[in-house]
Amino acid sequence: MLTWTKEKPHIPGWYWMLTPGVWSNLPMIVQVVFDPETHRWLALIPASHYPKTLSTEMDLQTVDAMWTGPLDVPSVLAMAS
């Protein structure tokens, strides 16, 4: 069972993110990655296969949300890596 927290993720992976009133009132799956060029943690919204991304990249520190995870990567995506 996953637990929701206001603490931002500190390891890379896929997470449920809930931001009531910002994007929607439903949780969405995002990907948290570390960008070695800028030395920043990023949230890819919605989750995608980084760096080939069509997602919006946001500095994780600026995202005010509830988090749970990391989630297991779907097997179909794990095979594509």
pLDDT tens digits, one per residue of 20-68: 776 667 898 999 999 999 999 999 887 766 555 577 889 999 999 999 9
pLDDT tens-digit profile of 6-28? 999 999 999 999 987 766 678 98
Q: What is the pTM of this model?
A: 0.78
Q: What is the pLDDT of residue 40?
A: 95
Q: How does DSSP assign 3-50, residue by residue?
A: --BSSPP-SSEEEEEE-TTTT-SS-EEEEEEEETTTTEEEEEES---T
Q: What is the mean pLDDT of residues 3-7?
A: 95
